[in-house]
Structure 1
Amino acid sequence: MISVHTSPLAQPGSGEAGGMNVYIRELSRNLAHRGVEVDIFTRRADPEQPPVVEADYGVRVFALEAGPLAPIPKDQIFCHLPEFVTELAFQISRNGHPYELIHAHYWLSGWAGYLLKRYWDIPLVQMFHTLGDLKNLLSPRGSIEPVLRLQVERGLLRLADAVIAANPDEREVMIWDLQADPAKICTVPPGVDLDHFRPADRLAARDQLGLPDRPLVLFVGRIDPVKGIDTLFEGWRRLLDSLEPGDTVPLLIFLGGRRTESAAGPQFEPALERVIGEARRLGIEGSILFLGSQPRAILPLFYNAADLCVMPSRYESFGLVAVEAMACGTPVVASRVGGLRFTVEDEVSGLLVPPDDPVALAAAIRRALADHRLRTRMQVGARQAAVRYSWHGVTNAVLQVYQQVAQRRELLPCP
C-alpha cells in the first residue's frame, strides 16, 4: 500500500491525518489477519520517525526519505515523487520482496503507484478518498485544488486497473463527469471497528472524561475548510441566541488540531489558535471545549459521552466519524453531501441538513437535543445502521477487487 503524504500511524485530527489514515491502518490489519502480506510506504516527514515500524499482524510501515524531513504542503510533495518511487524500488530490490498488487491512496500515491505498476508490471488499485473536482465544486471560494491534481486524477481513472469509490455518488461522478470506464469502478465503503466503537453508559463515560452532565455536542475532525467549521460556529452562535431564559446551555466538545499541556497551561498549534480566535470573535468561546485531537483508544468514550455528533462538512467521500459515532449509538447531525447522504439516514440514525446552512444546522441540533423520544429512536437506529459497515464485510469486498485484478488484468464488470 502507498500513502505518500500521511502516515497511517499518525493520530487522526492532527495535521493531514484523518479518516484515510484510519482506513489504511484498519484495512491493512484486517487483510493481514486473513493471511495477506501487507507493507505500507509513506514519506518520512520527521527525523525522529523510524524508517520501519512493524504494526498489527506483521504489517510493516516504511517511511522513505523524499524531500525534507519535515511536514510540507501536499502540493509540494509531487515534485518529490520520483525520489520516493526510486527509494521504494531500491528498498524492495534490496529485500528481494516482489509484490503482486499495489493499492494506492489519494492522488499523490496513485501517481507513485502508477510509476511502480509500469516498473513491476503488476496491477494498481486506486482509491482517491477525495476527488479534486468534487472539492472544487463544494468548497468555499478561494479553496481551489490545483490543476495538476485534477489532471492526475483523470489520468489515474484511465491507467489504474481498478478504482474503489467510497459511495455511489462518487462512482457516478467518476463515470459521467470524469469519463471513467464503469467496469473499473467498484463501490466499497470504508468500515468501522464494531468491537472498539460500541454503546456504553453515557454518564459513566462523562465521569471518566471529567465532562459535565449537560447537553453535549461533539465535533471530531481535521482543521480544514472542507470540514465546515465556520458553518458549525455560526450555527452554534445561532443556537445559543435561540435559548430561552432558564435553558441549560449546551457544550460543544471540539476534537481537532493539536493541543499540548505545559506548566503555563494548554498550548495550541497555530491552526487551532485561529479556530479558537474565530470562536472568540463570535462570542461563543465559553461554550466550546477545545481539547485537540484525541487518541483512538479513548474516542469511544467521547462518542458515548455526547448526546449528538455533528458533521457540517462541505464534502465527505464517506464520513468515518459519523459511522464511528453511530456505532456507539450516538445520532449524527450531518450535511447532506457525499457519503454522508448514504451513511446517515435522516430521522433514523441522525438528521441531515443542507451544507453551508448554519440556520438549518442550529435548528437540527436544537431539535435533536430537545426531542428525547426522537433522540432515543435515533440512538437505536444509529447502531443498527453502523453494523452494515463491519470491517469483515469491507475486507471481503476489497479482497474480491484484489482477486479480480490479479487474475485478469482486464476487469469484469463489478458486481
Structure 2
Amino acid sequence: MGYVPRLRSLWGPAGRKDGAEWSLVSPVSVAVVCLHTDPFAPPGSGDVGGMNVVVRHTSQALAARGHRIEVITRRSDPDSPEVCVVDGVRVRRVSAGPPHPVPKGEHEGFIAPFRERLEDLEPVDVVHSHHWFSGMAALPVAHAWGVPHVQSFHSIAAPPLTALAEGERPESPGRLAGEAHLARRSDAVVAVSDAEATTAITRLGAPASRMWVVHPGVDPRVFHPLAEPLPAGGRPRVLLAARLEPLKGVDLAIRALARLPQPRPILQVAGGATHGTEYVDSLQALAAQLGVVEDVALLGPQSREELARLMREASIVLVPSHSETYGLVALEAAASGVPVVAGAVGGLREAVRDGVTGLLLPDREPRTWAEALARVLDSEDLRARMSQASRAHARERGWDTTAGGMLAAYCALLQESRTA
C-alpha cells in the first residue's frame, strides 16, 4: 500500500521542520518490544499504565492502516497465550524469567534471556523498543538484522541524588547508563512530548537530529462527555486516575481535599498499587488523620470503559503527579469534556492548556490545590467554558494521528537506509 504522511513531527534545536514528505510502496513490518509490561494487560495496576495504553492503541492504529505489527513482551502469566492476534496486532509473549509478575526493577536481569528470544525471530523492517529494558535487549538484535532501531523511553531516570519527591529515581543499577547508550546509539528516539525530548537531549545526549515528538492520542468512542447531565443534588466528584505510588501525588490530593469546606466533593482514586500495600496503607492513614475518610474512595484498578464512565461523571480530573512525561489522563479528561487541575510539570504543560482546558499549578502546597479545586467547583460557567475548549483540544489528538506520526519516523528511517 502507499502512504505519504505530511506531518510536523521532527524536533530539533531550531524547532519543527515542516513539509517532510515520506513515501513507502509496501506495508511496514514492525517489532514493538515491551519487555517489562504487557501492553495488552488491563491498565491501572502493577506496572501497567500509560505506556501500555500508548503502545496498544498506536499498534492497533498502525495495523488498521495495513502495516504488520507484532508486540513482543515477556510472558508473565502462565495462562496467557504465547501468540495471539488482537485487533490486527500479533502479540507474542516469550519466556524470559519466571512466568509470573515480578517488580519492575528486577527486569534488568531478564534483558539477556529476552534478547536471546528475540534473536530467534524473523527479521522485520523496524524494531521499536519501549522503555530502556526493551531497548537494551533489542538494539543489538536490530543492528544484527541491519534494520533501524527506534527507542521510546516514556520516562527518563532522574540524576542519582534527586529526591523522590522531585521525580523518579533510577529503578535499577544500569538505568542511567543504559538510557544514555540507547539515546546515542538508536537510529531514532521518539518522545511523547517536547518536555521529554528536551530531557533526552540535555540529560542523555540524544542527537536532536534523530529526535521525533509524537503525542499520544485518545479514543473518542471510549472517552466522551455525558449524553445527559447527572441528577441534581449529588456531591461533586473529583477523579484521580493513577497507579498508587508516591510519584503520583495522591497524598497531595488528600491534603488539598481536607482544606475544602463541608460539604466536600468525593475524591475518587482509580488505580492499583505498583507493588505491596505500604503506600496504600499510608494514604488511608492520612485520610483518617485529616478527617476525610468518608470523602475518599480508593476504587482500585479500572477497565478502560469503567475509567471513561468515572471520568465523564466527574466535575474535575486531578493530576497531582511530581512528574509526568506527557499526562495521558489529562487528554482523556479533555475528550470527556472535564476540566483538569494539574501540576505545571513535564508534558502536562502540553496536555493541558492553562486557563483554557484546565489549571496548571506552580507548586505543591495543599492550599494552592484546594483553592484551584474550589475555583473550578464553584463556577458552573468556568466548567462549561473549559469543557467546550477541552473537547475541541481532544479532537485534534486521535490515535490515527499518533500512528501517522510514528509512521513518518519509520518511513524516514527506511528511506534513509535504502539510499545510504
* TM-score bucket of the superposed structures, by smaller chain: 0.7 to 0.9
- Counterpart of 2:335? 327
Counterparts of residues 372-387 of structure 1 (less than 5 Å): 372-387=380-395
1:176–1:410: structure 2 CA closer, same or farther, 3 Å change rule?
farther
Determine which of 205, 211, 214 is the counterpart of 1:179: 205
Q: 3-state DSSP class of the match of 2:72?
A: strand
* Cα displacement (A) at 1:3: 0.7
**Distance across 1 between alignment mates of 2:267 and 2:154:** 28
1:128 aligns with 2:153: yes
Aligned counterpart, 1:149: 175
1:350-361 equivalence runs, <5 A: 350-361=358-369
Supply the distance in 2 between the matched residues of 1:53 and 1:269 (Cα, whole angstroms). 33
Partner of residue 370, structure 1: 378
The one-character-per-residue Cα deviations of 1:72-109 (angstroms, maximum 9, x if unpaired) are 2222111211111112322x2xxxx4311111101111
2:225 aligns to what SS in structure 1?
coil
State the alpha-carbon separation in 2 of the partners of residues 138 and 105 from structure 1: 25
- Identity, in percent, stands at 36
1:213 paired residue number: 234
Matches within 5 A, 1:66-81: 66-81=96-111
- The TM-score, its normalising length taken from structure 1, stands at 0.87
Q: Give yes or no for contact 1:4–1:43 (8 Å, CA) kept in 2.
A: yes
**Alpha-carbon deviations, 1:262-313, whole Å to 9, x = none?**
xxxxxx9665444333322332221012211111122221111000000001
1:337 and 1:355 in contact (8 A); partners too: no
Partners of 1:394 and 1:56 in 2: CA distance: 17
Quote the Cα distance in structure 1 between the aligned partners of 2:138 and 2:345.
29
Provide the aligned C-alpha RMSD in A: 2.4
CA distance in 2, matches of 1:308, 1:250: 10
Determine which of 107, 112, 130 is the counterpart of 2:132: 107
Q: Is the 8 A contact 1:165 1:171 kept in 2?
A: yes
Cα distance 1:17–1:344, how it changes in 2: closer, same or farther (>3 A)?
same
2:262 is aligned with 1:254 = no
Report which stretch shifted further, 147-156 or 134-143: 134-143
User: Structure 1 counterpart of 2:78, which letter?
Assistant: P
Structure 2 counterpart of 1:170, from 196, 200, 217: 196
User: Is 2:84 the partner of 1:65?
Assistant: no
Within 5 Å, which residues of 2 pair with 1:18-33?
18-33=49-64
| Separation in structure 2 between the aligned mates of residue 331 and residue 270 of structure 1, nearest angstrom | 31
Separation of aligned partners in 1, 2:198 and 2:406: 19
Cα 1:280–1:44 change in 2 (3 A) is farther
* 1:198 aligned counterpart, secondary structure: coil
Change (3 A) 1:142 1:22: closer
SS, match of residue 77 in structure 1: helix
**Corresponding residue for 1:262?**
none
Pick which of 331-340 and 140-149 moved more: 140-149
User: Which one is further off, 396-405 or 111-120?
Assistant: 111-120
2:359 corresponds to which letter in structure 1?
L
- Give the unaligned 5+ runs of structure 1: 259-267
Counterpart for residue 406 of structure 1? 414
Matched, 1:35 2:56: no
1:201-280 pair list within 5 angstroms: 201=227, 203-204=229-230, 213-239=234-260, 243=261, 247-257=262-272, 272-280=280-288
Q: Pick the structure with more helix per residue.
A: 1
Measure, in 2, the Cα distance between the counterparts of 1:350 and 1:411: 46
Q: Deviation digits for residues 141-196 of structure 1, max 9, x if unmatched?
A: 79621451111111111110000111112222222333221111011111111222
Cα pair distance change 1:12/1:411, threshold 3 Å: farther
Secondary structure of the corresponding residue to residue 174 of structure 2: helix
Secondary structure at the counterpart of residue 394 of structure 1: helix
5 Å-filtered alignment, 1:279-290, equals 279-290=287-298
The alpha-carbon deviation at position 135 of structure 1 amounts to 9.8
Residue in structure 1 matched with residue 225 of structure 2 by the alignment: 199
Deviation at 1:392, TM superposition (A): 1.9
1:62 alignment partner AA: R
Deviates more, 1:249-258 or 1:320-329: 249-258
Distance of 2:295 and 2:167 partners within structure 1? 30
Name the TM-score, length of structure 2 as normaliser.
0.86
- For residues 190 and 411 of structure 1, do their structure 2 counterparts lie closer, same or farther at Cα, with a shift above 3 Å needed? farther
Instruction: Give the superposition deviation at 1:361.
Output: 1.1
CA–CA distance in structure 2, aligned partners of residues 144 and 283 of structure 1? 32
State the alpha-carbon separation in 2 of the partners of residues 215 and 143 from structure 1: 32
Question: 1:360-400 CA distances to partner (integer Å, 9 max, x unpaired)?
Answer: 11111111101111111111111111122111211111100
Match of 1:87 among 117, 127, 131: 117
Distance 1:198 1:180, change over 3 A: same
Equivalent residue of 1:16, what SS? Answer: coil
